[in-house]
A and B are shown apart, each in its own frame.
Chain A
Amino acid sequence: GESVGLHLPTLSVQEGDNSIINCAYSNSASDYFIWYKQESGKGPQFIIDIRSNMDKRQGQRVTVLLNKTVKHLSLQIAATQPGDSAVYFCAENGGGGADGLTFGKGTHLIIQP
């Protein structure tokens, strides 16, 4: 079936650099997307969301970009800090159907000192 995936299982960046985490989705009915952060041993934590009527949304140090033409989602983290180390998941709603959110496999962000 259709699913959400991420391009890289691991991303290593230097502390202070910007990070970009990518996600490709295949369900064209999806109109709502969320990025979650999951630290070891904890549940996923909401970072930022975006609806399909937007192509960019900014939060505190984070920006989500949505390209519906190529079904691509990205999360940009500015000035990466050690506390940003976690696994990042993108999730999509499949057009608001009964299945809640569909998650990708995740990208493990590693911060190098």
Chain B
Amino acid sequence: DTGVSQDPRHKITKRGQNVTFRCDPISEHNRLYWYRQTLGQGPEFLTYFQNEAQLEKSRLLSDRFSAERPKGSFSTLEIQRTEQGDSAMYLCASSLRAGGNTGELFFGEGSRLTVL
């Protein structure tokens, strides 16, 4: 399977714990995005990378959220001191930026977080 993969698919944690999600994009894609999706809503943009550079992070929900893409390939999204309101599906997407506009995003299956 050469699509976007995310791990873990499901994570249950207790409030106050830290969690980390991993995303492996499609190998030739230089852009990687993180979105959050709550029940009944569309995906909400969090941050994105072009290669290893994080070009937009002002939409991360709080300073408890951070993301990295150290070698321009896989990425991690960490949530520190989780709160019940962090419960959601965290989606990763990748794209191949060529020229001007944002192109099609290819999404992974998501990592579902439940904070007890």
B-chain residues with CB within 8 Å of residue A51 when the two chains form the complex? 101
Decide if A49 touches B42 in the complex (CB within 8 Å): no
Is B42 touching A43 in the complex (CB atoms < 8 A)?
A: no
- Docked Cα-Cα span, A35 to B107, in Å, equals 13
Interface residues on A, range: 20 to 34
Tell me, in angstroms, the Cα distance from A79 to B99 when the chains sit together. Answer: 36
B100 x A100 contact (CB < 8 A): no
The minimal Cβ–Cβ distance linking B32 to chain A, given in whole angstroms, is 10
Q: Does A105 contact B (CB under 8 A)?
A: yes
A77 within 8 A of B: no
Query: Are the C-beta atoms of B107 and A102 separated by less than 8 Å?
Result: no
Query: B-contacting residues of A (Cβ < 8 Å)?
Result: 4, 9, 31-32, 34, 36, 41-46, 49, 51, 89, 91, 93, 95-96, 98-106
Contact check, A31 vs B33: say whether CB atoms are below 8 A apart. Answer: no
CB atoms of A105 and B101 under 8 A apart? no
* Known A-B contacts A44-B43, A104-B42; A96 and B101 likewise in contact (beta carbons under 8 Å): yes
Interface residues of B in 26-65 (CB under 8 A from A): 33, 35, 40-45, 48, 55-56, 59
Interface presence of B108 (CB below 8 A): yes
A31: chain B residues within 8 A (beta carbon): 101
CB distance from A14 to the nearest CB of B (A): 25
Is B109 close to A, CB under 8 A? yes
User: Quick one: closest A residue to B55, CB to CB?
Assistant: A98
Out of B42, B102, B108, name the residue touching A103 (CB < 8 Å).
B42
B77 to chain A minimum Cβ distance, whole angstroms, is 15
Instruction: Report the bound CA distance from A91 to B101 in whole Å.
Output: 13
The interface residues of chain A lying within 8 Å CB-to-CB of B35 are 100
